[in-house]
Structure 1
């Protein structure tokens, strides 16, 4: 991970010099006034969902005004219906950051119908995934870094040249802030590679794969959950049997999944002595930063695995 991280930072620095050769227009008559420690006026950035909102805010600092449409517990992004004011937020945006992969189609539709032509960063495209693949790409550590790099480069492109060093500095600070996240991932990977886990829903699966864990969730249940449909009774029985037989070392429970079934499975796991680790799909209101949210969940998983 360290070499990959350094390559991202190197690519970012190259982008700074490339952007400097292109430069920006000289028309500053309508330019907004600088704010905070940014040397230029802020650009307008719209982020579809809060899983990426804090990442973008940390990278942009005072050089951007960041609007996140689905923030905190505002609703299930899968079923979110934007209001006219939500759609209007995309008008005049210099940069839009979306998750993609069908997770926030309403956002890409809003961009298409907006009056401007903002630069768009799509995390799903960066991941190289397609609609139908696991859309929860903010749980993939590599995609998080690659998306952050792309966001920083995009900010440099849509801002005046005087802000380039500012964004480079913000990116480097954000990389440093990832140290606890990196350490938690490495600690779990070192002690848990190959260990089995099951999940009530696929939200954490990309992180679990990065940690080297093995998914033993019954396939029938897993497919039904991925398609947001009800699993067959036989699939539920098979899942409960697997938990009672302790075929999983831990159960990952997405506490934002609707319906009584996840709680039922969590109860079976606890009765069988299988630790249950709660995770969330969106950032809890009291979670602090993206890094703090992720590290808290990783620490809970490490404790459940005895690491």
Structure 2
């Protein structure tokens, strides 16, 4: 006869054996053979379409990326879904654009119970303070509610800024997942080469436009980094702000039309994520072409899968080709 203690120990042993038999898919806690390990991917949440694309390029198959903002959705209009809240709560790393673009993020993180690492991809990027102020300042610590004093958040429109952003993302991924640090570094290096090639290609194409015709009017003030990098002149925007919720007054509309006429602007560029109605009205009054529809620029957001702006690299190539064709007066 077994004693009660022996029966208890035997039962416990059976439980352990059963758990071991059923738990083969779990990562061993102390395995000396890396081939036996089944590490799960790093769980990443990225706010904007752009930083999600950067995170996928840096992370490769070592990460799963949950993207909060959908293609062609204005970042200012975002409201978290239940799936977003669950993903945030379970994430290891959350990547944001920064420069106050995601003014809803702190409250969302708090409500989701996120306790991982927040990565501000704008760290170490030189932030421009607006075309009217004409100077740059460095960006320091994360986050306040967005206003114009924080500067222009559209930092991705200069590929050299993106190199800084992906370096920050790589560093954060390596800190959260040291075993895959070499893979993250290799992925970032490969992507850097593509960014350098993109930068050179854009510069070559813009230089093919006569200097007197390198003048831009856009839906809103989203392309300052691009214009600064490739030496185009910003004449004005339909929305007089970094924030798409602002509107022109009747006098500002009249002034913009006069400016377009006096400077000889060749075209007004609408954006895929914004309605072109006001741009088209101003274009008619000023007597210039409005680039819209499938040729519209990608400003605040990447496009959907299969579109000309489905990835960052595709977006900037599309924008450049559209701008160059319009300014040169050639068909797309």
TM exceeding 0.5: yes
Q: Secondary structure at the match of 1:104?
A: coil
- Cα separation, 2, equivalents of 1:288 and 1:237: 36
Gaps of 5+ in 2: 1-26, 126-137
* Count of residues in correspondence between the two structures: 272
Compute the TM-score of the two structures, normalised by the length of structure 2: 0.71
The answer to whether the 8 A contact 2:267-2:288 is kept is: no
Q: 1:241 to 1:81 in 2, by over 3 A?
A: same
Q: CA RMSD in A?
A: 3.2
- Cα separation, 1, equivalents of 2:68 and 2:242: 26
Aligned partner of 2:130 in structure 1 is none
Q: 1:116 to 1:28 in 2, by over 3 A?
A: farther
Q: CA deviation at 1:204?
A: 1.8
The answer to whether the 8 A contact 1:243-1:268 is kept is: no
Which of structure 1's runs of 4+ aligned residues deviate more than 4 A?
191-194, 224-227, 273-277
For 1:190-201, list aligned pairs within 5 A. Answer: 190-191=207-208, 195-201=214-220
- Cα separation, 1, equivalents of 2:84 and 2:224: 30
Q: CA deviation at 1:180?
A: 4.3
Aligned partner of 2:327 in structure 1 is 305
Deviations 1:17-56, CA, capped at 9 Å, x for gaps: xxxxxxxxxx96399xx9xxx9953110000111221111
Gaps of 5+ in 1: 1-26
Larger radius of gyration: 2
Q: Secondary structure at the match of 1:248?
A: coil
The answer to whether the 8 A contact 1:197-1:215 is kept is: yes
- Cα separation, 1, equivalents of 2:325 and 2:99: 32
For 1:19-30, list aligned pairs within 5 A. Answer: 29=29
For 1:1-307, list aligned pairs within 5 A. Answer: 29=29, 40-73=39-72, 75-127=73-125, 128-129=138-139, 131=146, 132=148, 133-161=151-179, 163-188=180-205, 190-191=207-208, 195-217=214-236, 223=240, 226=243, 228-258=245-275, 260-268=277-285, 271-272=287-288, 278-280=296-298, 281-285=300-304, 286=307, 287-306=309-328
Deviations 1:286-307, CA, capped at 9 Å, x for gaps: 2332101111111221222339
- Cα separation, 2, equivalents of 1:122 and 1:233: 38
Compute the TM-score of the two structures, normalised by the length of structure 1: 0.76
Q: CA deviation at 1:191?
A: 4.8
Mean CA deviation greater in 294-303 or 277-286: 277-286
Q: CA deviation at 1:224?
A: 5.7
Q: CA deviation at 1:142?
A: 2.8
Deviations 1:222-263, CA, capped at 9 Å, x for gaps: 636757333121211122223334532443322422473122
